[in-house]
Amino acid sequence: MEKMRLDKFLTSQNICSRKEAGILARKGEITVNGVICKNADIKIDAETAEVAVKGKSVFYKKYIYIMLNKPEGVVSAREDGACPTVVDILPDEYKRMSIAPAGRLDKNTTGLLIITDDGDFTHRMLSPKSGVYKVYEAELDGDITETDVKTFKNGIKTQTAEFLPAELWLPDADNKKVARVRICEGKFHQVKRMFAFCGKEVLKLRRFSIGSLHIDEKLAPGECRLLSAEETDLVFLDNLHKNA
Ligand code: URA
């Protein structure tokens, strides 16, 4: 049972502010289990109470998990003084107080990004101990060679960083400028730096899976949707390489 103040409950579900909850309650516009509740500081069982505001039921979700097809030009942060963020572009109903991107994609990287208010989920997903693999598709300024594949496979050590062994393959053997990379780390500009080590520049980068969760191809860039519980579990299931 999760006891919570009614005003906090409504704020947590992004229905209204705490102050507005008090006003709505006093106006008789909130019901709890079918009974008008004039006091927003009563405690309710968040999991089981049937709460309605202005006759509309509130479907409680402790946490939300959003899949965003990140477009270019937005930054993976909650707020940014200069650029639009991945949170700015969400529909208002998803903009809960503590949502944040689970990990980062560069401003010009596109594709699968999860945004959630479940900090434990984010921590688990990003922890190297969880070994969650991500697959990226990169468009390069030169042809991928067998040597590049081997370099990735052996792991890369530069003067400033070390990258664990990674898989690199061509999804289409006839196009050697488009490659897929499967890595389980998330170091700053990692994929770009790995290709730079091989003397190649990444012209476009798109992430299309995390664990066994794939980007929903029905989402246009900038579009998002909620993930089901089954889908969030897929993040922690291994994505076995080439069927990714
Ligand atoms: N690697 C990069 O270089 N950029 C990203 O956005 C993600 C992985």
Assigned token pair, 221: 């860039």
176: CB partners within 8 A, 6+ apart: 143, 144, 145, 170
Question: Does residue 19 sit in helix, strand or coil?
Answer: helix
The Cβ of residue 162 has, within 10 Å, a number of other Cβ atoms equal to 10
pLDDT confidence of residue 239: 61
State yes or no: pLDDT of 29 exceeds 50.
yes
CA distances in angstroms from 203 to 19, 156, 206, listed in the order given: 49, 21, 10
pLDDT confidence of residue 238: 78
Assigned token pair, 84: 């639009």
- Beta pairing partners, 180: 137, 169
Residue 162 identity (one-letter amino acid)? E
d(CA 218, CA 236): 23
> Is 179 a pocket residue for ligand 1 (Cβ < 6 Å)?
no
State yes or no: pLDDT of 243 exceeds 60.
no
DSSP state of 220: P
The Cβ of residue 184 has, within 10 Å, a number of other Cβ atoms equal to 15
Q: Which atom of ligand 1 is nearest the CA belonging to 105? A: 6
CB 93 within 8 A of CB 56: no
Cut 0.85: pTM above it: yes
State yes or no: pLDDT of 22 exceeds 60.
yes
| pLDDT band with cut points at 50, 70 and 90 for residue 1 | confident
Q: Which residue has the tokens 């989402």?
A: 219
State yes or no: pLDDT of 198 exceeds 90.
yes
d(CA 112, CA 125): 14
For the chain, the maximum distance between any two Cα atoms, rounded to a whole number of angstroms, is 71
Pocket test for ligand 1, best of 86, 105, 114 (most atoms within 8 A of CB): 105
State the distance from the centre of ligand 1 to the C-alpha of 52, rounded, in angstroms.
43
| pLDDT band with cut points at 50, 70 and 90 for residue 188 | very high
pLDDT confidence of residue 2: 79
| pLDDT band with cut points at 50, 70 and 90 for residue 61 | very high
State yes or no: pLDDT of 14 exceeds 60.
yes
Q: What is the pLDDT of residues 84-128, one digit of tens each?
A: 999 999 999 999 989 999 999 999 999 999 999 999 999 999 998
Q: What is the pLDDT of residues 203-231, one digit of tens each?
A: 999 999 999 999 999 999 999 999 999 99
Residue 65 identity (one-letter amino acid)? Y
The length of the chain, given as a count of residues: 244
Q: What is the pLDDT of residues 126-146, one digit of tens each?
A: 998 899 999 999 999 999 999
CB 159 within 8 A of CB 197: no
pLDDT confidence of residue 242: 45
Q: What is the mean pLDDT of the chain?
A: 95
Residues annotated as part of the active site: 106
Q: What are phi and psi of 75, to 5 degrees?
A: -100, 145
State the distance from the centre of ligand 1 to the C-alpha of 110, rounded, in angstroms.
9
State yes or no: pLDDT of 195 exceeds 50.
yes
Mean pLDDT lowest for which of 47-51, 97-101, 235-239? 235-239
Pocket test for ligand 1, best of 189, 197, 203, 207 (most atoms within 8 A of CB): 189
> Is 105 a pocket residue for ligand 1 (Cβ < 6 Å)?
yes
State yes or no: pLDDT of 244 exceeds 90.
no
Q: What is the per-residue DSSP string for 122-166?
A: HHHHH-GGG---EEEEEEESS---HHHHHHHHH-EE-SS-EE---
Q: What is the mean pLDDT of residues 50-66?
A: 96
